[in-house]
Structure 1
Amino acid sequence: MTNNSIVLITGGNTGIGYETVKALYASPQAHTILMGSRSLEKAQDAISTLKSEISDSKSEIIPLQIDIEDDASIENAFKQVESTWGKVDALVNNAGGSYDGIVLSKPGPSGIREAWNKAYSVNVTSTQVFTHQFAPLLLASSNPYLLFISSGLSSLTTCSGGFTSKIWSDPSPKGWPKPAKLSPIAYRSSKTALNMMMLEWKRLLEPDGVKVFCISPGFLATNLGGMGADFLKKVGAGDASVGGVFIKDVVEGKRDEDTGKVINKDGVQPW
C-alpha cells in the first residue's frame, strides 16, 4: 500500500485536468494520481506526453476509465479504486463542458433543450452522482479534499453588476427575435448550480472533516465549448497551466482557510 496521497481527477487527459495532473506530478510531494478519462487510450497517450515533459517525479500516474454520464462506468471505477487503494484523499470533479454552441447549429426549442440538458447532465447531475458514489472513499481518508471546478462566469454578483467579456460583450438590440450569437448561458447557469451543490456537500461532509471547495480557475485557454485554445489566447485567456498549479495548491493544503467557498488564485469569488 502506497503512502502517497491518492488524487482522482475526472477529465484528466485534457485541458485544465491535464495541467492539474502535470502540476501534481511535478510537485515535490508524492501523489498517486488517477487520471480519469472516458477513453483509456487517450489517458495513456496523455500520460506518455506528460512524462516526456517531466522526466523526474516522486509521484505516479495511473489511467482510470471513467465516464461520469455512465453509471456502470462510475461503478466500475469505484470498485477498482476501492480494491486497490481503499480511499481517495482528493476528489477533483474536473470533467465538464460547454454546449451552448448547439443552439446555433440547431435553432429553436429542440436545440435549446439539448444544450441545456447536456450542460446540466454533465456539469451538475453526473457530477453529483459521481461524488455520491465516491464519498465513502473520501471518508476513508485521514485528510480528505473535495473539489468542484466552477467558473468565473458562475458568479451572480459579478454578472448582475454588468458582466462584460471580450467574447460576449455586444449589447442586446431591442426587439425579437434577437440576433443569433454564441452566449454561454447554459454553461454559466450550470456552474452556478454547481456552486450550490458544493455548499450542500460542505454541509453534509463537514462533520467528517472533508474540506470542500469550488475552484474558479480563471479565463484560461482550453478547448471548452470548441472555441479552441489558440482563439481564446488571442482574446486574452491565460495558459491552462495556471489553473493546474492553482488546483494542485488547493489539494496540497494551501487554501484550507477558504473551505466552503468559491475560490480563485487571488482570493474568494463573490457569489
Structure 2
Amino acid sequence: MADKTIVLITGGNTGIGYESVKALYASPNAHTILMGSRSLEKAREAIKTIESEIPKSKSEIIPLQIDIEDDTSIDNCYKEVESKYGKVDQLVNNAGGSFDTVMSAKPGAAGIREAWNHTYSLNVFSTEVFTQAFAPLLLKSSQPRLLFVTSGLSSLTLSASGQRTALAQPIPKGWPKSTVSSMIAYRSSKAALNMQMLEWAKNFQEDGVKVFCISPGFLATGLAGIGKKKMKEMGAGDPSVGGTFIKDVVEGKRDEDSGKVIHRGGLQPW
C-alpha cells in the first residue's frame, strides 16, 4: 500500500474544516489528516465524533494544536509536523473568521478598527505567515497542493454587478450607512486572499505545486455569527457540501484549475 498522504487543515475542528476532515476520512484513499485546532481538547472531541460516525477508514486523524495568529504556536506546529512526517502533501488554509458585527457592537472608530484589524489579522496576515512557515515542508512532497478557502463574496466582478450578501438590506439615502450587513471587512479580506493565492501560484510555478482558492458557496456555518439555523432559513447549504468539494481538490480532481478561484461548478469570476 502506498504511504498515506499528509493533509494539514487549519480550523479543522469546526465548520467547513471539520466537514473536510470528515470527507477525507470517509474517502477510499488513505490519508493522514492533521486536524489543526487552537484547542487540542476540541480537536480530540471532533475526532471522536467523526470516528463514531465512520467506524471503518483507511485514514487516520491526528489532532494538531495551531493558532495561526500566534507565531509561537506556528513555530511549535511546524517543528511537530517536520519531526513526525517530514513533509506536508496538501496544506489547506481554512482557518478564518468574520468580525463585521463588531462595528455595530462598538460604534465609531474603535469598532471599525477592531473589526478590520481582526479580520485581516486572521484571514490575511496570519494565513500568509503560516503558509510561509510551512512552504519548505510542502516542497518536500511529490504531489503538493496548496488551498486557500475564500468566499463567493470576494469576487470584484460579481460585486460590481450588484451582488449582495444574504444579510444585506436596502441602503437608504443619507448618513450614517451601515456596512455590517455587506460584510465589507470580511469580503475585502477574502479578495486580498485571492491575490495571495495568485502570488503563491507564481512563486510555486517551477516547483510543481498546485495552488487554488476554494469558494465553497453559501453554507450554514457559524462564520456569520447569526446561527446555523438562521442561515439555513436564508438558503444556506449544508457544510458537508464544502467538505466534499475540498476533499475532491485535495485528491487531485481539479488540478487543471490550478491558479484559479474555483467553486463546485467551475470557476469564480475575479
Whether the TM-score (by the shorter chain) exceeds 0.5 is yes
* Paired AA for residue 67 in structure 1: D
TM-score normalised over the length of structure 1: 0.98
Unaligned runs of 5+ in 2: none
Judge conservation of contact 2:103–2:115 (CA < 8 Å) in 1.
Answer: yes
The alpha carbon displacement at 1:183 in A equals 2.9
Number of the residue aligned with 2:27: 27
Number of the residue aligned with 2:230: 231
The alpha carbon displacement at 1:180 in A equals 7.3
* Paired AA for residue 86 in structure 1: G
Q: Distance in 2 between matches of 1:30 and 1:179?
A: 48
Root-mean-square deviation over aligned CA pairs: 1.0
Aligned pairs (5 A) from 1:55-94: 55-94=55-94
Q: Distance in 1 between matches of 2:81 and 2:177?
A: 49
- Deviations 1:8-60, CA, capped at 9 Å, x for gaps: 00000000000000000000000000000000000000001111111110000
Number of the residue aligned with 1:196: 195
**2:147 pairs with 1:147:** yes
Q: Distance in 2 between matches of 1:157 and 1:167?
A: 20
* Paired AA for residue 54 in structure 2: I
Q: Distance in 2 between matches of 1:234 and 1:179?
A: 23
Aligned residues: 269
Judge conservation of contact 1:104–1:182 (CA < 8 Å) in 2.
Answer: no
The alpha carbon displacement at 1:164 in A equals 2.9
Equivalent residue of 1:221, what SS?
coil
The alpha carbon displacement at 1:147 in A equals 0.1
Judge conservation of contact 1:143–1:210 (CA < 8 Å) in 2.
Answer: yes
The alpha carbon displacement at 1:177 in A equals 1.4
Does 179-188 or 216-225 show the bigger shift? 179-188
Pair 1:179–1:30, CA change in 2 (3 A): closer
The alpha carbon displacement at 1:178 in A equals 2.3
The alpha carbon displacement at 1:166 in A equals 3.2
Judge conservation of contact 1:91–1:145 (CA < 8 Å) in 2.
Answer: yes
Number of the residue aligned with 2:186: 187
Equivalent residue of 2:33, what SS?
strand
Number of the residue aligned with 1:112: 112
Number of the residue aligned with 1:268: 267
- Deviations 1:196-243, CA, capped at 9 Å, x for gaps: 000000010111000000000000000003111111000000000000
The alpha carbon displacement at 1:179 in A equals 5.1
Pair 1:52–1:106, CA change in 2 (3 A): same
Judge conservation of contact 2:165–2:182 (CA < 8 Å) in 1.
Answer: no
Q: Distance in 1 between matches of 2:231 and 2:177?
A: 25
Pair 1:189–1:133, CA change in 2 (3 A): same
The alpha carbon displacement at 1:172 in A equals 1.0
Q: Distance in 1 between matches of 2:199 and 2:166?
A: 33
Equivalent residue of 1:177, what SS?
coil
* Paired AA for residue 182 in structure 1: S
Number of the residue aligned with 1:178: 177
Number of the residue aligned with 1:3: 3
- Deviations 1:90-139, CA, capped at 9 Å, x for gaps: 00000000000100100001100000000000000000000000000000
Number of the residue aligned with 2:162: 162
The alpha carbon displacement at 1:181 in A equals 5.1
* Paired AA for residue 10 in structure 2: T
Unaligned runs of 5+ in 1: none
Does 127-136 or 44-53 show the bigger shift? 44-53
